[in-house]
Amino acid sequence: MILKAIKYCRNKAEKNEWTIRGNPIDNEWLDFNQINLIVGRNASGKTKTIQIIREIADLLAGDKLSQLIYDTSTYELMFEDGNDKIEYFLDFKNGRVIQEMLKINEQEKLNRLKGELFYEEIGQKLSFETDEDSLALSRRDSKQQPFFENLYLWGKNISHYKFGDKLGKNVAIKNINIIKEDDDVDLKDGNDVIGIFVKGEKRFHNQFIDSIINDMNRLGYPLDKITVNSLKRLPFGFGLSVQETELKDFTDQMEMSQGMFRALSLLIQLNYSLLAQIPSCILIDDIGEGLDYERSKALIELIIEKVKGSSVQVIMTTNDQFVMDKVPLEYWSVIRRLENKSIFYNYKNAKQTFDDFVFTGLNNFDFYASEFFIHGFDDYVKDVI
């Protein structure tokens, strides 16, 4: 299942209201493809956009709204699942649901204001109630409401990588033998990388390890082996270790450079998702942070190549010129910050402008830096004259 579009507003009708929206000609939907790069200046809303996608995913996966007691938000989401179009609406205030609706192919399955929920076995809606701080999905029944299951799995399987963070580098485990192949996999925060590696090795064997080694080699980190060993600085802890081609001894995760470990952690979890064929959405904030130009460029190429045509969707953010120059404009969404709004321009809602930029002969970064994405040739010609 793929997230196709979103509308969002926080604290509507208040002074500190904040919204994300597409270009107004697109009816204000922010559209997504399978591969997405969100581009914008600092404080334009890149990280916030990632965070609000993560927030709704956590709610769909079972988190209670009581954790958001000081928040008031309205979500509209559009998903595509094969031939099915799924529309989901959530409006909550101070941690309590005001309205929740679900439509599949225009057929209403849930309307919380009316107190109606569709039951598959009898083919009609019945009245229902649930706690004010819980979504209706928390009552999901695989027989009566199978349409909830894909929303739940989308929320559960989302991955959120803050590429500038540690991504599990300082996390060790005491006993790898307690990790079982069929244990649940936590891809949420990118910190359970050791457990995911052990499960991937048990389930997919050399195919899993070879894929990671090949990917690391492409990034300029030549490796011969990846394993889990006791850590040199933590004799009672276990962690990831790699044998670099040019070194005789193993390098454990505490000794690795932060850039190398970030790449390794992301590739372990990406390869697991792909081999396990987990339909998922991967959020990567500040992709390429801490990597040099060549490795950053190679990582972007690798992600696009591996994800294209798979069941995995990826949404990345950056304000790095090198990353922008490498990612084709067809994957871009550029943010323009106007007061309390983050307005997105992409190939769907500003196609002519995106197509026209090819004729300038400039680099992709200039599309963003010159603000060509807003007015196209109108302003570009003025600047030239």
Residue 384 pLDDT: 44
Residue 161 pLDDT exceeds 70: yes
Per the domain annotation, does 186 fall within a domain? yes
Query: What mean pLDDT is predicted for residues 142-153?
Result: 89
Strand order in the sheet with 251-252: 223-230, 238-244, 251-252
In this structure, the answer to whether residues 118 and 152 fall within a common structural domain is: yes
Per the domain annotation, does 276 fall within a domain? no
In this structure, the answer to whether residues 138 and 30 fall within a common structural domain is: yes
Residue 158 pLDDT exceeds 70: yes
Domain, as residue range, for 242? 176-266
In this structure, the answer to whether residues 188 and 105 fall within a common structural domain is: no
The full DSSP string for 94-116 is: TTEEEEEEEEETTEEEEETTTTE
pLDDT 10s digits, 85-125: 999 999 999 889 999 999 999 999 999 999 999 998 888 99
Per the domain annotation, does 380 fall within a domain? no
Query: What mean pLDDT is predicted for residues 70-78?
Result: 90
Residue 385 pLDDT: 41
Per the CB < 8 A criterion, the answer to whether 100 and 90 are in contact is yes
**What confidence category does residue 378 fall into, taking pLDDT thresholds of 50, 70 and 90?**
low
Q: What is the CATH number of the domain that holds 142?
A: 3.40.50
In this structure, the answer to whether residues 148 and 191 fall within a common structural domain is: no
pLDDT 10s digits, 186-223: 778 778 899 899 999 999 999 999 999 999 999 999 99
Per the domain annotation, does 252 fall within a domain? yes
In this structure, the answer to whether residues 15 and 72 fall within a common structural domain is: yes
In this structure, the answer to whether residues 182 and 147 fall within a common structural domain is: no
In this structure, the answer to whether residues 139 and 43 fall within a common structural domain is: yes
Per the domain annotation, does 324 fall within a domain? yes
In this structure, the answer to whether residues 115 and 190 fall within a common structural domain is: no
In this structure, the answer to whether residues 109 and 219 fall within a common structural domain is: no
Q: Considering its fold, how many domains does the chain have in total?
A: 2
Per the domain annotation, does 364 fall within a domain? no
Per the domain annotation, does 357 fall within a domain? no
In this structure, the answer to whether residues 132 and 211 fall within a common structural domain is: no
Percent of the chain residues topping a pLDDT of 90 = 50
**What confidence category does residue 233 fall into, taking pLDDT thresholds of 50, 70 and 90?**
confident
Residue 379 pLDDT: 56
Per the domain annotation, does 15 fall within a domain? yes
Label the pairing between strands 107-111 and 124-127: unpaired
pLDDT 10s digits, 34-53: 999 999 888 888 999 999 99
How far apart CA 250 and CA 170 sit, in angstroms, is: 17
Query: What mean pLDDT is predicted for residues 259-286?
Result: 91
Residue 68 pLDDT: 78
Query: What mean pLDDT is predicted for residues 311-331?
Result: 89
How far apart CA 252 and CA 238 sit, in angstroms, is: 9
In this structure, the answer to whether residues 80 and 108 fall within a common structural domain is: yes
In this structure, the answer to whether residues 40 and 152 fall within a common structural domain is: yes
